[in-house]
A and B are shown apart, each in its own frame.
Chain A
Amino acid sequence: MKFVNEMRLEFISCSSNESFARVSVSAFVSQLDPTIAELSDIKTAVSEAVTNCIVHAYNQDFGIIYISVKIFENGHIVIKIRDKGCGISNVGQAMQPLFTTGGEERSGLGFAVMKSFMDDVKVTSKPNKGTMVTLEKNIIRRTIKARN
């Protein structure tokens, strides 16, 4: 299926950009007229993925975080969040709830939140090359919601 709209963002892995990233994605997705709950889910999932880039991928360094969002005709959205950081050697382990290498104040729930709040989550990663997280969600248009 062809996408009907797309946006791309690039910004440095500065923790103050976590809110910039989630608010920007949510502003772009708003054209689909999502519910508050759907928007909140998307903002949370984006925040988790971007935080992973900052805390893990680039750790103490600064690097570039790339986000693209595509909107498809049927209200399907695909958000890609990519970094060129350290990569994840064991993606399966990283996605386990409560697993973290981020120290005591990190809950280890990032991927669990993404999985629970989005319809689909895919992670591809190469050590020392970077990681790409793909988040997908179907936004049901409110006109259709009202009919059902």
Chain B
Amino acid sequence: MGVKITQEDIKCTVLLEGDIDHHNARFMRQSIDDYISKNHPKVLCLDFSRIKFMDSSGIGLIMGRFKFIKLLGGELEVVGASNSIKKIIKLSGLESLGIIKK
């Protein structure tokens, strides 16, 4: 489980690792929010390609970061979601925000 943050120009990429459930989401949320409140990236990219499991806590994580980055005047992108993650994203209606990239 982990959060690896890299910044390139105005874009901050967060590589999430392991499982996203209620237990792990707390730590991930804190790490991401600490970084973006200090660095104000214009684009926050959440990379799910190394996430093996996600329940609806992941939807809370995405929605919360979407609201926070919008507040700071930035944009959110979600990349690397597997088919099982896409299934929950679809159910949540998050697709309509246009933040889910390949």
Contacts and interface: CB of A to CB of B under 8 A. Distances in A.
13 contacts: A15-B23, A18-B23, A19-B21, A22-B21, A22-B53, A44-B53, A44-B54, A51-B21, A105-B25, A105-B29, A107-B57, A107-B59, A109-B59
A18 B84 contact: no
Interface in A45-100: 47-48, 51, 54-55
Interface stretch (A4-12, A110-118, A127-135, A137-145): A110-118
Residue of B29, B54, B56, B63 most packed against chain A (CB within 10 A): B56
Contact of B56 (A22, A40, A107): A107
A113 B56 contact: yes
A107 B21 contact: no
A6 B30 CA distance: 40
A105 B23 contact: no
Interface in A10-47: 15-16, 18-19, 22, 37, 40-41, 43-44, 47
A65 to B, nearest CB: 13
Nearest to A117: B87
B22 A55 contact: yes
A107 B84 contact: no
Contact of A40 (B29, B59, B63, B84): B84
B95 interface: no
B92 A107 contact: yes
A59 to B, nearest CB: 13
Contact of A105 (B53, B54, B61, B87): B61
Contacts of B100: none
Given A37-B84, A112-B91, A113-B91, A104 B64 contact: yes
